[in-house]
Amino acid sequence: MSDLIFVMIVGAAAFAWWSAARAAAERAESIGREACRLAGVQWLDQTVHASGLRLRRRDDGRLGFERSFRFEYSEDGVERSVGRLVLRGDELVAFVGPVGGEQVVQALR
């Protein structure tokens, strides 16, 4: 019986981890897409790519995950540029991307 409980706890933790990672990726995708739209550039590949994960203290002092993402955009349809954003929980804490996309960052902070 205790083995079953252990397996259920591990399964629940794995699902919670996956769900939080998916939610962060969806939020990063939304931010990247909106930043590119406001900057008038083409958002390439229609996705973001996870590029880092760190444990960081949140503003309330508790430990949480800080996830980094990258995305690609093009100003002229030929050259690819890389944008980066960092989420701590669902809060945007850093953004590097297309000029004009900073408006989105200010609106989402």
If one compares 102 and 50, the residue with the highest pLDDT of the two is 50
> Closest Cα to residue 87, out of 48, 44, 39?
48
Question: How many domains, in total, are found in the chain?
Answer: 1
Query: Do residues 24 and 85 lie in contact, with contact meaning Cβ atoms separated by under 8 Å?
Result: no
**DSSP 8-state assignment for residue 101:** T
Q: Whole-angstrom Cα distance, residue 71 to residue 81?
A: 8
33-68, pLDDT tens digit by residue? 988 888 889 999 888 999 999 999 888 888 989 999
Task: Domain of residue 13: give its range.
Answer: 2-108
